[in-house]
Amino acid sequence: MHGPVCVLCGYINEEQAESCTADHYTADDSSHKEICGACGGVIKEESHLYTYTTETAEDGVRIHKGTCSVCGHTMDGACVFDPDGICEICGQPCTHEYTVGQSLDESYHQLVCKFCGHTEKEEHQIGESADSQKYCTACGYSLNE
């Protein structure tokens, strides 16, 4: 509510008061405020309601971009993955992109996600060199005794 306010004592004449009507939003990184067009007062403040998309930035980092469905505020940042590969900010699962890690034994090597660190094991991919030496073409493990 807004209405005429006494400049000496701050009294608001409630008989002439009107309901506030929002005509725009202000926003910061954590919330948006609904602002009255007549008095400039804050009608309501609430946290952003982001809808997210994820992508890989040019530097290879997995990022999320959010747009608030109420006020249109946008944000972006690097995904922070929990041990299950879910971003703690946007809630999106990691789209694993693996690099080959070290050999685990004579049958398997490790794959490591370059975004969240999740690991999987994969069978060695056997190849043969020009001098008939067998090795894994992915991790380089030698299968010769």
Q: Give 12-68 pLDDT, tens digit per residue.
A: 777 777 777 888 888 988 899 998 888 888 888 999 999 999 888 888 889 999 999
pLDDT score, position 93: 93
Confidence band of 8 (pLDDT split at 50, 70, 90) = confident
pLDDT tens digits for range 92-129: 999 899 999 889 999 999 999 999 999 999 999 999 98
pLDDT score, position 126: 92
pLDDT score, position 1: 60
Every domain of the chain and the residues it spans: 14-47, 50-93, 98-136
State yes or no: pLDDT of 3 exceeds 70. no
Neighbouring C-alpha atoms within 13 Å toward the C-beta of 85: 14
Question: Could you give the C-alpha distances from 1 to 21, 27, 60, 119, in angstroms and in order?
Answer: 9, 22, 51, 58
Query: Residue 87 is encoded by which pair of tokens?
Result: 């971003």
